[in-house]
Amino acid sequence: MESVSVWEKVWQEVRSGLVSSVGAEAILFPIDTLKLQQQVYGGSAALVAKRLLEKQGLGGLYKGLLGRLIQTITSNVGFFVWQTVFVQLSLRQLQVHEPGCQKLGTIAALVVNMLAQQFNRILTTPFDVVANVNQADPASRGFFSTFLRLARTGGVQELWRGLPVALLLSLNPALMFTLVGKLSDLIKVLRGHGTSSHLSSTDMFWISGVSKAVATLLTYPLIRAKAVIQTTGGNHLGLWGMLAQIVGQSGWLGLYQGVWIMSYKTVLFNSLMMARSLFKLAPTN
């Protein structure tokens, strides 16, 4: 009976993930396009926008939308599937020693979220690579055409390029969702409500926005390195080689090239989903 309830919960996460992630990504896609162009090719946000509009027109802001939606669905839904499974398995183990335990502690929640994201990255990195190349390359003929081209020219290694950096970046969403859970509980306590009470959509908008901003700022050099490796094929350099190349070309501030436009996009993306209360968080104390 327990296994049924777990998989019912997984299905709820999958269904909510499909609706919220696709909706938020479609709304914010032009920002995502500018973000990726700035991360890979450099320049100010205004210069990137001017360059893109001159070469591709307004349609360029939506180039690669289908591929990005596919990547968004697989990434977000996959994470919540693994998160739900690992949370439930962890709670079962805890309840053996602490009957009645219903929530994970801070460290346990962070570890579970990181583990869920690690599994998710391994399975979904090819979607991320193909979506990035398809979106950034003006000559790309579409998501599936790009997938076949990369697979034929570079094989499995080409589709999974940047995976080590992606695995390190498991800390980003894990940190975000842990912060969201903890900030939510803190606000409930400060208001004199129990941690089992519910917060408003406005509360969740700001809580998730702050949490994602903190996680993004702490991990952004890795985020930019991953974007460049996956989009341009700099896998042979490795993480440290790519970071050194970025610093050599743009200085230390180059590690944060595009951080502000990405912050706007990621904060709005996660806040839109959280505000609609479509995603469930890992249980925390």
d(CA 31, CA 66): 15
Instruction: Check residue 266 and give its pLDDT.
Output: 74
Q: How confident is the model at residue 281 (pLDDT cuts 50, 70, 90)?
A: very low
Q: Is the pLDDT of residue 12 over 80?
A: no
Q: Is the pLDDT of residue 68 over 90?
A: yes
pTM of the model: 0.76
Instruction: Check residue 280 and give its pLDDT.
Output: 42
State the chain's mean pLDDT as an integer.
82
Q: What is the pLDDT of residues 243-254, one digit of tens each?
A: 999 999 888 988
Instruction: Check residue 9 and give its pLDDT.
Output: 65
**Straight-line distance from the first to the last Cα atom of the chain, in angstroms, rounded to the nearest whole number:** 26
- φ/ψ bin of 192: left (φ > 0), alpha (ψ from -120 to 50), beta (otherwise): left
Q: Which of 87-91, 220-224, 231-235 has the lowest mean pLDDT?
A: 231-235
Q: How confident is the model at residue 221 (pLDDT cuts 50, 70, 90)?
A: very high
Q: Is the pLDDT of residue 10 over 80?
A: no
Q: Are 128 and 75 in contact (CB under 8 A)?
A: yes
Q: What is the mean pLDDT of residues 87-107?
A: 77
Q: How confident is the model at residue 278 (pLDDT cuts 50, 70, 90)?
A: very low
Instruction: Check residue 1 and give its pLDDT.
Output: 43
- Positive or negative CA dihedral for 105, 110, 116, 119? negative
Would you list the domain boundaries of the chain? 2-275
d(CA 89, CA 203): 29
- Positive or negative CA dihedral for 245, 250, 256, 259? negative
Q: Is the pLDDT of residue 129 over 90?
A: yes
Q: How confident is the model at residue 81 (pLDDT cuts 50, 70, 90)?
A: confident
Q: What is the mean pLDDT of residues 74-101?
A: 80
Top CATH class of 2-275 equals: mainly alpha
Q: Is the pLDDT of residue 104 over 90?
A: no
